[in-house]
Structure 1
Amino acid sequence: MPTELLFIAGFIIFIGVMMAIDLGLFGKANKPVSLKQAGIMSGVWVTLALAFYLLILNFGHLLHDVDTLARLREVNEKHFHRLAIDNHNLITSLQAYRKTLGLEFLTGYVVEYALSVDNIFVMVLIFTAFGVAPKNYHTVLLWGIIGAIVMRFLFIFLGAALIERFHWILYVFGAFLVYTGISMFVNRNKEEKIDPEHHPVVKFASRFLSIHPHFEGNKFFVKIDGRKMITPLFLVLLIIETTDLIFAVDSIPAIFSITKDPYIVFFSNIFAILGLRSMFFLLVNIIEKFHYLKVGLAALLAFIGLKMLASHYAEQIGLTTFNSLLIILGILTISVVASLVFPKKQTGVKQS
């Protein structure tokens, strides 16, 4: 069996095992996830992502069965790595290739993890609007993440195929990200609301499915008088899946600005998604404190979009993958620190 298939199969098995462990920690008791549990699992997911980065640094060449200089040149050209290959030294060239893959994975992971925070803002709104009990959050998020993994897989490999065939689509992605970043900045103070009765997903589901009006614990389906019906919790799951689909339209083009290798895009995406559930429970009660994060994410999207538009000149003007990682970390750090140093003013509170 080619090492490429072994690499991918191993990663899929790893995902299954870790999700089982995650479910064992979060899903045993029918009660809200504690801050301690969320902190432990968040630390575990970040540690695993860093361990995977080290794995790529040592064995990344196995991902595409790169074992000759000819194969390395082929992969380098196909995935636009712009790697300077030493045509007389395979070992040195493979080291440079693995280092490039590792840096692309790490940068993509940071970008996807950061953009996931905006997803958390919306998830909190959805759960609050529908009155979901905190003890049922983990059930919805578990199945939401499984659905997100499937959708991201399809989106990523479709996007990679489009880029390989129509390279100009990168400029479309870049322009879209710049537009999204500007829109996010302009609307940063706009209060987001979710109307449970008039939400498009609710209207769509009402036309084709029988909806039970009340929650039934953590059940998605119930049988009433022999009639199978969906519960409001399943509606919430549908809305979260739809929301993730919308977010994927931003996040996947963003990571293609960093790497065109679909496997690296997939790995970084999946690690960020798998860490999303624990990060949600970690931030759910304090997410509003990071009010400048929207500005930071807007700047992040605009920067990535501009880099994509200037992809032919990016490295010439110093926007290497490493420097881009530093800029991205800088944007996120400034937005978080600014939120803490300059807390949001409370409205409607009289000053003494």
Structure 2
Amino acid sequence: MISNEIIFFSAFLAFILGMLLLDLGVFSRKNHIVSFKEAGIWSAVWITFALIFYFIIRTHGDLIHGVENFDDLKVIQQRYAEEITLYPDDFERSLESYRSNMALEFITGYLVEYALSVDNIFVIIMIFTSFGVREKYYKKVLFWGILGALIMRFLFIFAASSLILKAGWVLYLFGAFLVFTGVQMYLNRNKEDKIEPQEHPVVKFASRYFAVVPRYVNDRFFVRKRGKLMLTPLFVVVLIIEFTDLIFAVDSVPAVFAVTTDPYVVFFSNIFAIMGLRSMFFFLANVMHLFHYLKVGLAVLLMFIGTKMLAHSYLKEIGFKTQYSLYIIIGILLISVLASLVFPAKPKEDPEQSSEKPSSAPKKTIKH
């Protein structure tokens, strides 16, 4: 007999893949530069889907694990939600408590993943710029990049969940890693990252083991020359996007496990955030520079989540609830955004213009 978890999970994947195919076959038949308006609409669409899913969990979340009676609920509570209170004499009240907590975990995990995805946008912009990808191909590259991310997140999340269930001490390891990552992000907040295309490990790997065409061939990922199948630089960029998401998953997935240890809730929140990432990329790409304190906010967010994981036993004893985490996370993000707007970044001075004494030596011309 097929379990409720498989049915619910399959329906969720069918919906996500259906939306991706609809976008690919109907809305993205031709490569085009995504306008600010189009990006805003799609961002709103995916946020709306996430909120609808929140209400589905809020009213029918017990269907995910096939909870039919109090004994079923008690098993799930001991496995994933020890912080909720069950009422042996009132199954409906216990079920309501479980649904409410599960929905809150989903929306909190979604917010955490969405926020951490913002840092991913900085890197993706840098990748596209460094590799000279034409703007009208951005959407196609991100489409296939996100499709690969779905598979990697699935493997990563359920492997991590299995590990946590078998060895609870892994949560402390995750917590220490997140605190370390948050501190590193804060210390390097003003450091300008650069990508040297020829030195990137993915480029070196692809060049070593595959035949790669030296230049872009429109929007094609593969070309055949003299009977030999070759990769194009555009496909290499897709691989770099996948590699980048894998690195970010090392931070973001453990961060959501600080909110809930239910792998299905972690996966659902991750996927909705990733799906919104592509639209958010086009929506925020041109205004990211306005939120210069956002990196500080994300660093504090990672340190808070890591600390919460390290102290999860103590927090459980004092009754620290999921909604408290949600309030703190929202507060951190709001403060970082408001601080960016109230205290805008000072424009960087041009070294040539800021020099006090102009040089009398003749300027050398550089030929391009």
Q: TM-score range by the shorter chain?
A: over 0.9
Residue 253 of structure 1 corresponds to which residue in structure 2?
254
Inter-partner Cα distance in structure 1 for 2:320 and 2:127: 38
Deviation at 1:31, TM superposition (A): 1.4
Contact kept, 8 Å, 1:178 with 1:301, in 2: the verdict is yes
Deviation at 1:316, TM superposition (A): 4.8
Deviation at 1:197, TM superposition (A): 1.0
My pick for the range that moved more, 268-277 or 6-15, is 6-15
Residue 287 of structure 1 corresponds to which residue in structure 2?
288
Alignment of 1:53-202 (within 5 A): 53-202=54-203
Secondary structure, in 3 states, of the residue corresponding to 1:222? strand
My pick for the range that moved more, 96-105 or 336-345, is 336-345
Listed one character per residue, the Cα deviations across residues 280-314 of structure 1 (whole Å, up to 9, x for unaligned) are 01011111221111100000000000000000122
Secondary structure, in 3 states, of the residue corresponding to 2:245? helix
Unaligned segments of structure 1, at least 5 residues:
none
Deviation at 1:28, TM superposition (A): 2.5
Equivalent pairs, count: 351
Inter-partner Cα distance in structure 2 for 1:319 and 1:345: 40
Q: Which amino acid aligns with 1:229?
A: M
Listed one character per residue, the Cα deviations across residues 93-138 of structure 1 (whole Å, up to 9, x for unaligned) are 1011000100000000000000000000000000000000000001
- Normalised to the residue count of structure 1, the TM-score between the two structures is 0.97
Q: Which amino acid aligns with 1:10?
A: A
Listed one character per residue, the Cα deviations across residues 224-265 of structure 1 (whole Å, up to 9, x for unaligned) are 222211111111111111110000000010000000000000
Secondary structure, in 3 states, of the residue corresponding to 1:85? coil
Secondary structure, in 3 states, of the residue corresponding to 1:313? helix
Q: Which amino acid aligns with 2:325?
A: S
Contact kept, 8 Å, 1:257 with 1:304, in 2: the verdict is yes
Contact kept, 8 Å, 2:83 with 2:321, in 1: the verdict is no
Inter-partner Cα distance in structure 2 for 1:161 and 1:238: 27
Residue 296 of structure 1 corresponds to which residue in structure 2?
297
Find out whether 1:348 has 2:349 as its counterpart: yes
RMSD: 1.4
Secondary structure, in 3 states, of the residue corresponding to 1:64? coil
Identity of aligned residues (%): 55
Listed one character per residue, the Cα deviations across residues 304-331 of structure 1 (whole Å, up to 9, x for unaligned) are 0000000012245564210110110111
Q: Which amino acid aligns with 1:260?
A: T
Residue 226 of structure 1 corresponds to which residue in structure 2?
227
- Normalised to the residue count of structure 2, the TM-score between the two structures is 0.93
My pick for the range that moved more, 122-131 or 28-37, is 28-37
Find out whether 1:42 has 2:43 as its counterpart: yes
Q: Which amino acid aligns with 1:73?
A: K
Inter-partner Cα distance in structure 2 for 1:318 and 1:68: 26
Deviation at 1:20, TM superposition (A): 2.3
Inter-partner Cα distance in structure 2 for 1:61 and 1:20: 29
